[in-house]
Each structure stands twice: as structure tokens, then as C-alpha cells.
Amino acid sequence: MPDREIRLPARWPAAATPPLRSARLRVSPEDFVVEELPAASPDGAGEHLWVQVRKRGWNTADVARALARWAGVRPRQVGYAGRKDRHAVTTQWFSLHLPGRPDPAPAAWPTGIEVLATARHGRKLQRGALRGNAFRITLRAVRGDTSALGDWAEAVARRGFPNYFGPQRFGRGGANLAQAADWFAGRYRPRGKAAAGMLLSAARAFLFNRVLAARVADGSWRRALPGELMMLDGSRSLFAAPDPDAVLQARIDAGDAHPTGPLPGKPAALQPEAAVAALEQRVLQDHPALLAGLVAQGAQAARRPLRARPEGVAVAVDGDSVILSFTLGAGSYATALLGELVETVAEGPVEGRDATPRGA
């Protein structure tokens, strides 16, 4: 049975009415500043050279290739914890595998790449090996009730926000999701494991967001339903909650645990039951081809928290601009938080008024 039409919504449902009606994002790269918070720091010895880079106008993969050329190694010998936006100013660590070799000589880097620090370590930097990211985001041409921003910041820090996957997971215009559907239907074949993994991730993210949107609509995204699978905060540890009670809800309210949603694939040992299983089946039955394709390609089912909680939320108003600072744990998207703040976000400079030149 073919899937119903796969279409990304203009915006996923918000948990509450955003206080701002519209704003512009990334008028210049400096309006989106991200600092990666690694899970570990280099200890000063070992066959891997860790390199901290600040980049502007570059994507992470291109920086990794530039580092590989500098060190005279293959791109696969370069590690990094996560991909960072191109149209932003971001700071992150990379690792270069240099067994028995000295550090490369200092180099003149292209515009937009700045090496901040280097240090040796015994291990490669692995994907996902980060505590989170610190953000400073400037929204311009803001329209809406800026007097409500203090109350909004307090509320979102207390209750969290729906942990949607951001649009970058789906590719420009949803291209990754469309290619995943074509792949599963036999109309397309990805080149290489990395490309295949990207398409599998897009399909799983879409299905997760569909379930989360349904739970935002019924108000249960931060409330345990019968048959819930809960995840401990800051970990991937799951536990079943067949009959949620007031004690469990108190843990949810305190941020100690979160209800979860599906990342579909080959069935895992622990499955939701009762109301949660029925809700997920009802939402996902519209997409049998995506579900079957994920299983056929060997994706292993997993769970993801329905809620994310930011830390250090601060909001400042400067004329018609709003500056938002916060920290998010690994895997959560700043764009999902912005969806709770602004109804409509237009990206990039006003047409014909590119405020600053882009990097390479």
C-alpha cells in the first residue's frame, strides 16, 4: 500500500501561541552563533590531534576536508562530533589521526576558517560525542509582543519545548525525505553509506515529528500516557510506565524523565503499549512504505524524548531585534525552540540587501 502524500508542513504545531508574530533569521552569519560543548576534552597526549575551529560560511564537511589536506590524511581520518550550520558562526572540535607523526606546520587558512586551539588526545572524536551546544541567536525585523518575552523564557525553561527534528534533517526543501521515499520505492539509489544514512535519518525524523505533532495537539507531549516508554534525562536509558501515576508525573515536571516517541525501524525488545501504542499506530499507518523501507534497509528502532529543556535561557530586546541565548543538549534543534517563540521566521537578508559578504 503506498504512503499518503509525504509533505513537510510549513511549521510543526507549537505547544503554545508564540509571543512573536514574525522575524528574520540569519540576516548575517553573526546572527546565528553556536559553540559546541564537547563531552570530553583532549588530555594532551596520543596519536590524534584535536583542532578547535571557528568557521563562518563553511559547512562542517568542507572544513573537515580542508583539515585533511592540511595534515596530509584521508578525510575518513578526520573526526567531528556533529555537523554545524553553514550560514552561521560556529565553533567546534575536529580530530586528525596522526600516528607517529608530528603536528602539521601552521597554515594560512581561507577566509572563514580560524584555528583556535590544538591538542593531542588518545582517541578519535566520534559522532555524537558532545554534551550539547550553546547558542546566541539574533532575530531581526521582529513583530509581536516583546513585553511577553520574560514570561516566555521562564515558561519554556520550566516546561521545555517539543523536541522536533529541525528542517536541516530533511534537506533543502525536504529533498532528503523525498529521496528516501524514492529509494524505498526502487526509483533511486544513494551513493555510499553516508548518503544512505542521511536518507534513513530523514525518514525516521519525519515519522517521529508526525507522532510528536499529534501529542502536541492532544497536550500529552509532556504527560505520560498508559503504556509509555520513558527516558531518563541526559541519557538514553528507557523504562516502561504501563500505569503512569502522580509520582511519575512529578518526575516529568521536574525534568528528571521524558515521554518518548518512535524512531522506526526493525522492532526493538522494549515496545510501547496500551494508549501510546494505539496512538503511534494510528499516526504511522499513513506511511507504510516508509516504515517498510526502514526495516528493509536494516534501521534499528529506537526512541527519542518528546521534550527538550533549554538551559540558561536569556532574552534581550534591542530596537526591533531580539537576542536569544540558551544551551541545548545533544540532538535537540534550536529551530524547534524558535518555533515556540516566533510564528513565522524568514531566513536570510532582505532581498537586494545582503548585509555582509559570505565566507568561502
Q: HEC states along 129-177?
A: CEEEEEEEEEEEEEEECHHHHHHHHHHHHHHCEECCCCHHHHCHHHHHH
User: What's the CA dihedral at 51, 56, 61, 62 to 10 degrees?
Assistant: -100
Q: How far apart are CA 181 and CA 66, in angstroms?
A: 33
Report pLDDT for 128: 84
pLDDT in tens, 337-349: 999 999 999 887 7
Residues 6 or more apart whose Cβ sits within 8 Å of residue 34: 84, 85, 88, 89, 90, 91, 133, 134, 135, 334
What confidence score (pLDDT) does residue 194 get? 86
Q: Domain boundaries in the chain? A: 40-127, 161-308
CATH class name, domain 161-308 = alpha beta
**How far are the Cα atoms of 82, 115, 183 from residue 120, in angstroms, in the given order?**
20, 15, 41
Q: What is the pLDDT of residue 7?
A: 84
Do the domains spanning 40-127 and 161-308 agree at the CATH topology level?
A: no
Q: What is the pTM of this model?
A: 0.90
Whole-number pLDDT of residue 10: 87
Q: Give the 3-state secondary structure of residue 32.
A: strand
Query: Which of 85, 253, 256, 354 is labelled catalytic?
Result: 85
DSSP state, 213? Answer: H
d(CA 28, CA 298): 41
CA distance 151 to 130: 30
Look up 85 and say whether it is catalytic. yes
pLDDT attached to residue 337: 97
Which pLDDT belongs to residue 353?
40
**pLDDT-flagged residues of the chain (< 50):** 352-360
Pick the CATH number of 40-127 from 3.30.2350.20, 3.40.50.970, 3.30.300.10, 3.30.1340.30: 3.30.2350.20
Q: DSSP label at 207?
A: H
Q: Look at residue 325 in the predicted model and tell me its pLDDT.
A: 97
